[in-house]
Structure 1
Amino acid sequence: MTSTSLSTVASVTAGELEQALRQEVPSLAVDTSAGRRAQYAYDASNYRLPPLAVAFPTGADEVAAAHRVCHRLGVPLTSRGAGTSMAGNAVGTGLVLDLSRHMRRVIDVDAAARTARVEAGTVLDDLQAAVAPHGLLFGPDPSSHSRCTIGGMIGNDACGNHSVRYGRTGEHLIALELVLADGTRAVADRDGLRAVDASGRERVESLVGALRGIVHSNLSAIRLGLGRIPRQVSGYQLQHLLPENGFDVVRALAGTEGTCATVVAATVRLVPEPPAALLVALGYDDVVDAAEDVPLILKFSPAAVEGLDEALVATMRHRRGAGSVTGLPEGRAWLYVDLDGDDPERVAAQAERLLDELRKAGRMVSGRLVIDRTERLSLWRVREDGAGLAARLSDGTASWPGWEDAAVAPDRLAAYLRDFRSLIADHQLTGVLYGHFGAGCVHVRLDFRPRTDAGRAAMRAFLTDAARLVVRHGGTLSGEHGDGRARSELLSVMYDRPMLDAFAAFKHAWDPTGLLNPGILVDPRPLDTDLALHTAATATAPSTVFALLEDPEGITGAASRCVGVGRCRSHNGGVMCPSYRATGDEQHSTRGRARTLQEMLRGDLPGGWRSRVTREALDLCLSCKACSSDCPVGVDMATYKSEFLHHHYRWRPRPPSHYSLGWLPLWAALAGWMPNLVNAVMNSRLGPWGARLGGVTTRRGLPEFHGRRAWRRGLAEPAAPASAVLLVDSFTRAFRPGLAGAASRVLAEAGLPTQARGDLCCGLTWISTGQLGIARRVLARTAKVLDEPEGPAGPIVVTEPSCAAALAKDLPELVDTDAARRVAARVRSFSGALREQVVAGWRPERVPTEVVLQTHCHQYAVFGAGEQRDLLRDLDIEKITEATGCCGVAGNFGFERDHYEVSMAVAEQALRPRLEAAAPGTPVLADGFSCQMQVRHLVGDDRDGAIHLAQLLDHPRP
């Protein structure tokens, strides 16, 4: 970016930019609010650059108009997809265009021609879903496939796990629909570059002439310096403009990182899906040993050769339990080798030959063919979550990108890794290694210390030495992530001055005023400028009620767990983030909320704990806790929201629902003295008035209260002294009292006689509404009573999953006593307690052959995603149709008047489709009370609702 444009943009305010955009294109959604600028100040890199404004175009015309305005005002413009860049190429100081919000259509699929035309904001998984019925796929498959966009993949020339087979994105492009810096519309295809209309013809013809001149003046340098190894992404790919390569503008634009033109749509080439595929998992003592075997493996024409070390596996198991990684062979480093072909038997035979050859080579510790689909998915998830998992390891160590993307020729990989590890040791750093070993591309995150001047100086010194090392091995600074802000300054280590001048001329031809994503590739900003932690506020972290046991830096460290990989932006797989899946708005993603919190804690959002911007960002968080499990770095937004609400409303009036739903255990206990009267009032004309006063929606039926002793009826008479406690929660006591007896009977039959307690509370409703003082007092009493020595010393079984999760997770973080920690360790969900009995040999008398399963989000997050599903399989239930996702009620959220619409939109994602597809009479299993209420609301009164697992298994004898 030139100094002239820097001074120009400095004179334009956010308000002036917004006004100009609204005058030029009134239909364009533009947001200059502090919250929106906070959410888009970050990507997945080390950098922070708050923009002037964020816009959400719906089509190419709006994109072109935005370019015209920025060109006229001299405002930098950055196009953005999922915002998952680890190199800092998706943030900018001017206007950020988020193409992922609306421009995400798969416009056309031509199965016969094996092509598809898509908008730039199309998510890769959505494209794959659209072409899968035709037996086709888009070859490149980055680990971020569930949220990365085609436009972003083009910008980085992304590759992915199967790049050994399919190469880079640029190889699969047929045509690109472009907007140039001044708003000119153009199309690049295999025939060259042409203007969309007559008004842009002169500009495009001049551009083509300039590009040909650059190539003609640099023929020798381009031929010798570019395209030397498969993953040479660093710099511009000018070799595609050579005469012998047909002046391929499409390929030359791949990997330009939004610095030359904005892609608004693309026509891409598709490939047939292989009929047969097989994963071979190989174990090694060391990643260098694994790399030594890569050339041998490549002789077998694999589709993928991916590598990872033991630190990633340890972190996955630490975060998601020992069962989250299954099927790995013995070793401390591993390779995943995907083989494919037309015939399953031939592919299997090829895999056996590969194992034989590797055994003869003598470096492999063990290897196996992974046949089971669940094991394959488990293994691939470790690799796909690598960037997030490596950011916060099992010992709590934080690591950072910056040198996460170097590549060498595959036959140089082992030598490079050997020297690279020595370099890490010399600089007294530690790192986690993983990557696309079959393509020679190594991802690593290192424990840089960017908060201090000394740490930043050490970071710069290492990156400079690392650049020299990879160049010495004939490699490239970037193999797929792009150079961005992290490595562009180091291009002078990799390329000589004539090549850098050619890059500058290429950039200038496309973008003469230097407004498109400035500071990247050409005229780069220093790599240690604009670091997020460098500019962080130095104020002491505010004290919190939650202990945040895994974050020694308190709430500041907790919010900073988010490193921007954006898994919360996925629309499939896992459970997080239900509100983002409903709205598609970055503000409602876990990442958007975390970034807003980070800005608040930095002091860059007004109000501190009283910040209205932060409250708005957190408003649609359902507190489902799924992010604490699904997020690779374990962001627990439910806890952070609770903490924020505690401070935000301290000594201030709260929303009505905090008093009605937040204090529900108290109101339920009082209603238990006169349930008939209370129910009559609720069902009268006064009911809706009371609901409105309490901030409760009138569009949802409310449950009826039961008498305070009703839950005691039907409790099992233990044949032996109680060995466990059955904690009957407030929801069960008040609204489904028959469940207590069913649970008691099933546990007794399973060999776990219990003592039922109905006088205690987990404080959940006070926790979720941020009334933490009350919650802590309630929990302290519960912990003290349950820890009394005269009671049963065995497990504490809780019928309601959310209450079990509160006692297991929130109790020790809110109550700092040994009693609280002992009680938390004894807590079991009902299905968890039963599974222990099943493992010991118990089986129920009879079970249905088929169920629809809705796992409560808190159970999913705290006790494991598969706890209940695995139990049902152990019980030999033949067909389990799982509604993988949040039900939408999530405690008080779905009952609140202002959240009803979002609650129902969340239910549409998984629960309603599963209910509608289920055969009549199929049991719907939902242990959570809120889940049962949503099911009842969805199916209406003419169909059976959901039941608890205890009721499913309870068979009372006459």
Structure 2
Amino acid sequence: MADRTETDKRNGDGSDTSGSGTGGRRGRATDRAAAARADLARALAAAVRGEVSATAGDRALMTMDASNYRRVPDAVVAPRDAEDVAAALRVCRERGVPVVPRGGGTSIAGQATGTGVVLDFTRHMRRIVALDPEARTAVVQPGVVLDDLRAAAAPHGLTFGPDPSTHSRCTLGGMIGNNSCGSHSVAWGTTADNVHALDLLTYGGEAVRAGRGTDPEGRPTGLPPRLRDGVQALVGRELALLRTGYPTGLPRRISGYALDALLPEAGTDLARALTGSEGTLGVVTEAAVRLVETPAARALAVLAYPDESAAAEAAHTLLPHRPLTVEGMAADLVGKGAAGLPDGGAWLFVEMGGASRAEAAARAEALCRAATADGATGHALVADPAGQRALWRIREDASGTATRMPDGTEAWPGWEDCAVPPARLGPYLRDFRALLAQHGLRGTPYGHFGDGCIHVRIDFDLLTPPGVRRFRGFSTDLAALVVAHGGSLSGEHGDGQARAELLPAMYGDELVGLFGAFKDLWDPAGGLNPGMLVRPARLDDNLRFAPLPKGPVPVEFGYPHDHGDFPAAVRRCVGVAKCRTEKLGSGSSDVMCPSYRATGEERHSTRGRARLLHEMLAGEVITDGWRSPEVRDALDLCLSCKGCRSDCPVGVDMATYKAEFLHHHYAGRIRPAAHYAMGRLPQWLRAAAPAAPLLNALARTPLAAVAKRLAGIAPEREIPALAGETFRRWWWRRRAAGGAPTGGRTVVLWPDTFTDHLSPEVGRAAVRVLEAAGLRPLLPPTAPPAKRPSFPLPRLHRPGLCCGLTYVSTGQLTQARAVMRRTVEVLGPLVRPDRPLVVLEPSCAAALRTDLPELLFDDPRAARLAASVRTFAEVLEELAPDWTPPRLDRPVAGQTHCHQHAVLGDAADRRLRERAGLTGDLSGGCCGLAGNFGFERGHYDVSVACAEDQLLPAVREAPPHTEILADGFSCRTQLAQLGERRGRHLAEVLAEALGEGPESG
């Protein structure tokens, strides 16, 4: 967030304020709005100690949550404590400005969006105030991330029961606001079942301590007199309606206000009644929650069924076995047989607990036997925690994965979590599928089958008026269908704007009118989250797609997965915020999003950057288009690690979006010095090669500081030494001496810039291993074949080959396209299916496999070249399957290269290491150097923080005899410059074990 008093100096809609007529009036209105925002920001900054911002960038980051909706706030406040919350409410109340409490912004019904002031609790109010293992309670501030509470409770054998799939980034305040549930609710209930007491502030400034019970006069405790008497009177007046107006038999009844919790026979549980009120009644400043005992061991049974209906009808029959979870997924979401699932058309994920792994497995086996006798067609039982995590990841990523249909069509929330009585789930799903077909829609249901709660993303067309009308018509019909099955419009995520308009279909006008009376009692000014739950906005208003361009936007990349449509690529981000995970879990191989983990800033998450690009395209808050400094600054700390390409459930590719943006942003303008220095590194290294000894000597003199300043290089960085003899020069010298074998299967070995000029020892080692495996590596020429006979140019003047990586990462796409075309012309005649292109540097391999065909989308040769790219391990596995590598028999440590993780995959590397006796796994994350990123001035601290996230701790903790693997030049350089142990490419390790041959020096 920007400085406390910084405000947006541009017009909100980009209009010209100096015109006359309508334009002039619009401009004057915009001026007044900007002045009001500035005044509001000043008043807030004077009243609170936390950060306050009304800048375009910070407002843009808060326009959306994980729903279909978008509303633009006037300012964002990050309160430090309850006093700050009270002060902010006072300022807003004096000005009639609405307030929206916000946690992780993962709400799917739109309730975390709003006009006025957004209270962002994720920055400061995230302290676990107390944890009492004996009482099994914890006191938390609203910004506490669920996984942080679970980690604090775990040493005591406890956990917080509700665990939505966003557990690594959702907050307790948000869970309380939505009455979140999660996959373990069949065992441990909803958030409302686990809340003991709430401290709240009303919009009017009244402090509330909401708990359970009454005073001797039967009035709810913890309330100021006005609310105490008002609540007592309302409940007493409406006892009959409260006792008969709510559906029964619904473990997941989340819709509306839970006013029946205020009945005497329910214990007058005010905390429960306020849980799920979506920030419309009060702002939670602290919560006392219950903890539950977690089983010592768990086993996961995956049960296969012929189809979704069979799985749905079986789910409730498993509940007598006392499972911890009963989750359902169908084949149209994950693919038949995917990820080790047993053959079937649908699956139930059923987790069983026990005092030991043996007991948990025995209980799971008993359940599998019962399920098989009752219609399950197969099962898999997983007791290994790592195997369970891999299977659960399929389920947890579903909320993003389901956003794209198998044919690439977009699908959206809106009917994300209806719930029916569990015994009615099978019939309901059949009727639901029929209703989809009736409206010509498609969706992929999954979710909490044991609780009768279904998640689904549907291929609504929310971009055109006819599509929006269909969305509305389907919503009305589905509400009627849910009610006909005795269900709740919301079974987990709340009503928000998505479903609140339809609450009369579920509860009737009389009970919905009572909701309004309760809201008016607590918030007579209507200042808290207006438009949600009570007197809601229409479900088809405020759609986030409405302000986007209606036609195509001219871009450079082909965006093949989005049909060349850049706005569609940006729309991929649905806001589930997996990129906001602050710490990778033990054993995680994930990469996304290293800059967010380093800074904790929303703008540095993949979601934050996508939101800013969305607002850039919308042009309402961010009005400078491609010239936007807000987008540029947010993308500045994007490492282009491509982690989001694989780790984001919907495949947002921020590295590509960044390259696209930089290309347009700097078109016709002076670029940062680092773009000219490091973005064009291949040119400079080729020119510098003849003078390598002299330049290496100068790099150790005071002149190096001057050179770094001129080149935009961080002063803390050492300039890597140039090779005295390039890999290419060694290759041709060796061939001239007759040292290269002439037999064997031919492969083309790519002499990437880093291997050629900075680490030729890797190239020499790779040649040694490839030849030992019976392969015959050849290097490509440096220029395309002449179209007609001509006098050959001296080698020094031939243009070099390049994958284009450094040009792409700095957004120099015109130059990137030129060098890529030259590469295609040279390699096109050389590579073919039986003669692959072997690339030793993972970042270069990734550029050739993805950036090249996506930038040269109009050249079919580019796709063929990309398909020929193989990593070092892949080519050995494919073309030398019978070769036996030398046995090394020692553990490994280090980090899988981020581009290898995201684009290439490391399965072949794992198998090669196993065959060579190299044991253990490499960590996830990013080394933080990431090509030019860590060398650029201003990036050093973030670069080091990224390295400290996974790589450096893994290396420090490794025993002395551990082999430190780092296939990327950046990874090896980061290790060397931060004072850690030397990392080596896998080829170097294997070549050393082979022994030195006469041709290897």
TM-score by length of 2: 0.90
Deviations 1:806-825 (A, max 9, x none): 00001111123222111100
Partner of residue 71 from structure 1, selected from 88, 93, 99: 93
Partner of residue 779 from structure 2, selected from 743, 749, 756: 756
Structure 2 counterpart SS, 1:635: coil
- Give 1:865 deviation, angstroms: 5.8
Q: What residue number does 2:634 align with?
A: 617
Cα distance in 1 for residues equivalent to 2:442 and 2:923 = 41
Q: What residue number does 1:180 align with?
A: 202
Q: What residue number does 1:688 align with?
A: 705
Say if 2:691 is the partner of 1:674: yes
Cα distance in 1 for residues equivalent to 2:238 and 2:245 = 10
Say if 2:861 is the partner of 1:819: yes
Query: Does the CA-based 8 Å contact 1:114-1:271 persist in structure 2?
Result: yes
- Give 1:836 deviation, angstroms: 3.5
- Give 1:779 deviation, angstroms: 0.9
Query: Does the CA-based 8 Å contact 2:105-2:112 persist in structure 1?
Result: yes
For residues 666 and 560 of structure 1, do their structure 2 counterparts lie closer, same or farther at Cα, with a shift above 3 Å needed?
same
Partner of residue 680 from structure 2, selected from 663, 670, 681: 663
Q: What residue number does 1:910 align with?
A: 950
Greater CA drift, 425-434 or 816-825? 816-825
- Give 1:276 deviation, angstroms: 2.5
Q: What residue number does 1:641 align with?
A: 658
- Give 1:445 deviation, angstroms: 1.0
Deviations 1:868-905 (A, max 9, x none): 3454235442333x331111111101000111111111
Cα distance in 2 for residues equivalent to 1:239 and 1:800 = 63
Partner of residue 972 from structure 2, selected from 912, 915, 932: 932
Q: What residue number does 1:768 align with?
A: 809
Cα distance in 2 for residues equivalent to 1:41 and 1:486 = 16
Q: What residue number does 1:744 align with?
A: 767
Partner of residue 987 from structure 2, selected from 929, 932, 950: 950
Greater CA drift, 109-118 or 641-650? 109-118
Q: What residue number does 2:312 align with?
A: 291
Query: Does the CA-based 8 Å contact 2:745-2:774 persist in structure 1?
Result: no
Q: Which amino acid aligns with 2:937?
A: R
Query: Does the CA-based 8 Å contact 1:12-1:73 persist in structure 2?
Result: no
Partner of residue 136 from structure 1, selected from 141, 151, 158: 158
Q: Which amino acid aligns with 1:146?
A: S
Query: Does the CA-based 8 Å contact 2:208-2:223 persist in structure 1?
Result: no
Deviations 1:373-393 (A, max 9, x none): 443222211110111001123
Deviations 1:218-238 (A, max 9, x none): 112112223621111100011
- Give 1:475 deviation, angstroms: 0.5
Say if 2:63 is the partner of 1:21: no
- Give 1:171 deviation, angstroms: 1.1
For residues 193 and 144 of structure 1, do their structure 2 counterparts lie closer, same or farther at Cα, with a shift above 3 Å needed?
farther
For residues 157 and 203 of structure 1, do their structure 2 counterparts lie closer, same or farther at Cα, with a shift above 3 Å needed?
closer
Cα distance in 2 for residues equivalent to 1:590 and 1:74 = 34
Query: Does the CA-based 8 Å contact 1:66-1:183 persist in structure 2?
Result: no
Q: What residue number does 2:130 align with?
A: 108
For residues 265 and 220 of structure 1, do their structure 2 counterparts lie closer, same or farther at Cα, with a shift above 3 Å needed?
same
Q: What residue number does 2:141 align with?
A: 119
Cα distance in 1 for residues equivalent to 2:264 and 2:715 = 70
Cα distance in 2 for residues equivalent to 1:560 and 1:549 = 14
- Give 1:420 deviation, angstroms: 1.1
For residues 874 and 513 of structure 1, do their structure 2 counterparts lie closer, same or farther at Cα, with a shift above 3 Å needed?
farther
Q: What residue number does 2:232 align with?
A: 212
- Give 1:556 deviation, angstroms: 1.1
Structure 2 counterpart SS, 1:48: coil
Q: Which amino acid aligns with 1:784?
A: E
Q: What residue number does 1:549 align with?
A: 560
Deviations 1:609-632 (A, max 9, x none): 112221112111111110011111
Cα distance in 2 for residues equivalent to 1:784 and 1:446 = 44
Cα distance in 1 for residues equivalent to 2:420 and 2:358 = 34
For residues 298 and 265 of structure 1, do their structure 2 counterparts lie closer, same or farther at Cα, with a shift above 3 Å needed?
same
Q: What residue number does 1:583 align with?
A: 599
Identity of aligned residues (%): 49
Cα distance in 2 for residues equivalent to 1:916 and 1:857 = 20
For residues 503 and 636 of structure 1, do their structure 2 counterparts lie closer, same or farther at Cα, with a shift above 3 Å needed?
same
Cα distance in 2 for residues equivalent to 1:68 and 1:523 = 24
Q: What residue number does 2:373 align with?
A: 360
- Give 1:792 deviation, angstroms: 9.3
Query: Does the CA-based 8 Å contact 1:284-1:365 persist in structure 2?
Result: yes
Cα distance in 2 for residues equivalent to 1:470 and 1:167 = 21
Cα distance in 2 for residues equivalent to 1:345 and 1:649 = 62
For residues 193 and 704 of structure 1, do their structure 2 counterparts lie closer, same or farther at Cα, with a shift above 3 Å needed?
farther
Query: Does the CA-based 8 Å contact 2:364-2:381 persist in structure 1?
Result: yes
- Give 1:829 deviation, angstroms: 1.9
**Structure 2 counterparts to residues 802-951 of structure 1, below 5 A:** 802-815=843-856, 816-836=858-878, 840-864=881-905, 868-880=909-921, 882-939=922-979, 944-951=981-988
Structure 2 counterpart SS, 1:946: coil
Q: Which amino acid aligns with 1:845?
A: P
Cα distance in 2 for residues equivalent to 1:67 and 1:628 = 40
Query: Does the CA-based 8 Å contact 1:718-1:754 persist in structure 2?
Result: no
- Give 1:81 deviation, angstroms: 0.7
Q: What residue number does 1:517 align with?
A: 529
- Give 1:750 deviation, angstroms: 2.7
Q: What residue number does 2:548 align with?
A: 536
Greater CA drift, 764-773 or 551-560? 551-560
Deviations 1:748-790 (A, max 9, x none): 2233331134842111111100011111111111122112148
Say if 2:82 is the partner of 1:60: yes
Give me the CA root mean square deviation.
Answer: 2.1
Cα distance in 2 for residues equivalent to 1:227 and 1:916 = 58
Deviations 1:498-524 (A, max 9, x none): 211221121112211111111011111
Structure 1 counterpart SS, 2:350: strand
Cα distance in 1 for residues equivalent to 2:831 and 2:498 = 61
Partner of residue 704 from structure 1, selected from 712, 716, 721: 721
- Give 1:710 deviation, angstroms: 4.8
Query: Does the CA-based 8 Å contact 2:714-2:940 persist in structure 1?
Result: yes
Cα distance in 2 for residues equivalent to 1:770 and 1:78 = 38
Q: Which amino acid aligns with 1:43?
A: D
Query: Does the CA-based 8 Å contact 2:412-2:459 persist in structure 1?
Result: yes
Partner of residue 459 from structure 1, selected from 443, 457, 471: 471
Extract unaligned runs of 5+ from structure 1.
1-8, 195-200
Structure 2 counterpart SS, 1:78: strand
Partner of residue 612 from structure 2, selected from 573, 576, 596: 596
- Give 1:837 deviation, angstroms: 5.6
Structure 2 counterpart SS, 1:891: coil
Q: What residue number does 1:236 align with?
A: 257
Query: Does the CA-based 8 Å contact 1:57-1:99 persist in structure 2?
Result: yes
Say if 2:393 is the partner of 1:381: yes
- Give 1:343 deviation, angstroms: 4.5
Partner of residue 344 from structure 2, selected from 314, 317, 331: 331
Query: Does the CA-based 8 Å contact 2:78-2:120 persist in structure 1?
Result: yes
Q: Which amino acid aligns with 1:547?
A: G
Deviations 1:542-563 (A, max 9, x none): 2111111111152111111111
For residues 475 and 656 of structure 1, do their structure 2 counterparts lie closer, same or farther at Cα, with a shift above 3 Å needed?
same
For residues 407 and 787 of structure 1, do their structure 2 counterparts lie closer, same or farther at Cα, with a shift above 3 Å needed?
same
Greater CA drift, 691-700 or 335-344? 335-344
Structure 1 counterpart SS, 2:456: strand
Query: Does the CA-based 8 Å contact 1:193-1:208 persist in structure 2?
Result: no
Query: Does the CA-based 8 Å contact 2:727-2:764 persist in structure 1?
Result: no
For residues 51 and 693 of structure 1, do their structure 2 counterparts lie closer, same or farther at Cα, with a shift above 3 Å needed?
same
Greater CA drift, 864-873 or 639-648? 864-873
Query: Does the CA-based 8 Å contact 1:401-1:444 persist in structure 2?
Result: yes
For residues 875 and 311 of structure 1, do their structure 2 counterparts lie closer, same or farther at Cα, with a shift above 3 Å needed?
farther
Extract unaligned runs of 5+ from structure 2.
1-31, 585-589, 783-800
Aligned residues, how many?
928
Q: What residue number does 1:6 align with?
A: none
Partner of residue 268 from structure 1, selected from 265, 289, 302: 289
Q: What residue number does 2:180 align with?
A: 158
- Give 1:248 deviation, angstroms: 1.1
Greater CA drift, 710-719 or 486-495? 710-719
TM-score by length of 1: 0.94
Structure 1 counterpart SS, 2:111: coil
